[in-house]
Amino acid sequence: MFKLAWVRCVANFRANIVAGCFIWFCGATICLSYYNVSAFADFLNDFGKLKSRFGLLYSAVSTAIFGGLLPYLLMYCRKSIPRKRKVSWLLFFLLFWAVKGVEVDLFYRFQDFLFGRSTDALVVFYKVLVDQFVYCVFWSAPTTAIVYGWKNADFAWKKVRVIRSLSELVSESAFLLLTTWILWIPAVSIIYAMPANLQIPMFNLTLCFFVIIISYLEPKNGGIDGTRTRDLRRDRPAL
């Protein structure tokens, strides 16, 4: 079970390492520029003001755009969406990532409550640790596996393998986690190094870079759906 997840993860890592390096480079550049270039900091702070003003609504709308609408449009242009699923997949992506945006925002606020808003290295370390090894392990990976399994099963719960077999759920979650840790631990570290009101915008930018780059690295019939993984199914149908 875990061996299969590891084999899939290694293949996924080899395919996505270029994208991962580019994401880390862009994220680090943005973070360093924010703290060292005042004009760039002012530019980003405008997004921070929008986030502070609209709160959870900003998180829902922006994440739906960067995590849902953008990858959908890329998939549409690449003709990798089944003809009969264009509307249902669009609604799915928008709703899932709107909810995910609110969820991530609330989780970041909870992290602030636990560890404070400091961007010191130790605080960032604690937040990354809880994010990747508590939140992702016990919530994000299993729920993503289930929800995307539902989409990939044509929205028929009875066809979703991960809810019919604990071993399937654990295997799929393990695959998601291994891929997440490889690509996203550096990215999440950069996100937590930003001020609190810029963490969701930075999260959205990371999603944006991820889906754009992977869409051009994947073969035409391979889907990209804005998740933290390259694929969510064992037998690789178009997402």
- pTM equals 0.79
- Most confident residue range from 28-42, 152-166, 213-227: 28-42
Alpha carbon separation from 97 to 109, 135, 161 (Å, rounded):
18, 17, 22
pLDDT value at position 13?
61
Instruction: Return the amino acid letter for 142.
Output: P
Summary mean pLDDT of the chain: 79
3-state secondary structure the chain: CHHHHHHHHHHHHHHHHHHHHHHHHHHHHHHHHHHHCHHHHHHHHHHHHHHHHHCHHHHHHHHHHHHHHHHHHHHHHCCCCCHHHHHHHHHHHHHHHHHHHHHHHHHHHHHHHHHCCCCCHHHHHHHHHHHHHHHHHHHHHHHHHHHHHHHHCCCCHHHCHHHCCHHHHHHHHHHHHHHHHHHHHHHHHHHHCCCHHHHHHHHHHHHHHHHHHHHHHCCCCCCCCCCCCCCCCCCCCCC
- Most confident residue range from 89-98, 152-161, 164-173, 174-183: 89-98
Q: Alpha-carbon distance 148 to 95, whole Å?
A: 12
pLDDT value at position 196?
92
pLDDT value at position 74?
83
- For the stretch 72-111, pLDDT in tens is 888 888 787 888 888 999 999 999 999 999 999 999 999 9
Q: Which segment of 64-68, 99-103, 228-232 scores lowest on mean pLDDT?
A: 228-232
Average pLDDT over every residue of 59-75: 90
Which residue in this structure is represented by tokens 């405008």? 46
pLDDT value at position 6?
56
Taking alpha carbons only, the member of 141, 159, 139 closest to residue 149 is 159
- For the stretch 1-25, pLDDT in tens is 555 555 555 655 665 666 677 778 8
Q: Is the pLDDT of residue 208 over 90?
A: no
Average pLDDT over every residue of 214-235: 42
Q: Is the pLDDT of residue 163 over 70?
A: no
More confident residue, 43 or 159: 43
